[in-house]
């Protein structure tokens, strides 16, 4: 159970947090309420701020804290975002490309980032059922079947990452099962890693 919510951060710190959250929304990477709670704990721990013992035990701020944080910052609210593709978000044209790289240069100069610090992580779903090749069959027959390992198959999520300087990490395979078994990686790329959850989706690990 959460302890009585109190204002852990100063007004200045709270205002900085609000601006950061709004900035992340503006670039289509907004935080969920749970992610905000986790961020609050990490900030308090990093800067040695006195926090409730429940935060330390659970490594996350309490639900009541984020409720009070939203009340103190009426500019913020919990909203359901619309899925937005990268192409649509950036509206790839000359003007937006110039603005994007100007902002990128500003951020890199401000924080001292190099190309090795910038990573792109992406995921894709791979079906365990292969798409059948065309076969020779009776002309005019409408439905032709072929043997596969399953009619619907199971989707396995593959996650990869590459840095702006060309470095890569070995792929992560997320299997739709609660308990990951190492034999699931048999035949996979050498050094790849695996994980599992009920849905087989990567976002549950974020």
For the chain, which residues make up each domain, given as ranges?
11-72, 115-132+149-205
Measured between alpha carbons, how far is 137 from 191 in angstroms, rounded to an integer? 43
pLDDT band, residue 1 (cuts 50/70/90): very low
Model pTM?
0.52
pLDDT, tens digit, 9 for 90 and up, residues 126-161:
876 556 555 555 556 565 554 444 445 578 889 999
Which helix (H) or strand (E) segment is 18 a member of?
Answer: helix 11-26
Task: Find the mean pLDDT for residues 22-34.
Answer: 83
Question: Which residues is 126 bridged to in the sheet?
Answer: 156
Measured between alpha carbons, how far is 9 from 17 in angstroms, rounded to an integer? 10
**Beta strand residue intervals within the chain, DSSP E:** 119-127, 155-163, 168-176, 193-197
pLDDT, tens digit, 9 for 90 and up, residues 69-95:
999 999 998 887 666 565 555 566 777
Please report the pLDDT score of residue 17 as a whole number.
93
Measured between alpha carbons, how far is 29 from 18 in angstroms, rounded to an integer? 14
């Amino acid at each position: 159970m959460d302890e009585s919510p109190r204002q852990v951060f100063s007004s200045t710190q709270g205002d900085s947090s609000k601006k950061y959250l709004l900035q992340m929304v503006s670039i289509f990477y907004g935080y969920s309420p749970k992610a905000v709670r986790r961020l609050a704990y990490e900030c308090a721990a990093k800067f040695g701020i006195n926090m409730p013992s429940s935060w330390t035990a659970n490594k996350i701020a309490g639900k009541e804290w984020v409720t009070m944080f939203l009340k103190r910052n009426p500019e913020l609210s919990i909203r359901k975002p619309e899925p937005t593709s990268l192409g649509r978000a950036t509206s790839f044209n000359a003007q937006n490309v110039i603005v994007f790289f100007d902002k990128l240069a500003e951020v890199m100069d401000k924080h001292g980032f190099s190309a090795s610090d910038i990573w792109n992580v992406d995921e894709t779903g791979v079906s365990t059922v292969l798409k059948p090749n065309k076969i020779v069959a009776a002309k005019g027959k409408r439905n032709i079947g072929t043997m596969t390992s399953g009619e619907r198959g199971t989707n396995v999520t593959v996650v990869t990452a590459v840095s702006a300087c060309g470095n890569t990490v070995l792929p992560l395979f997320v299997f739709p099962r609660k308990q990951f078994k190492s034999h699931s990686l048999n035949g996979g790329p050498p050094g790849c890693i695996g994980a599992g959850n009920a849905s087989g989706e990567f976002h549950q690990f974020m």
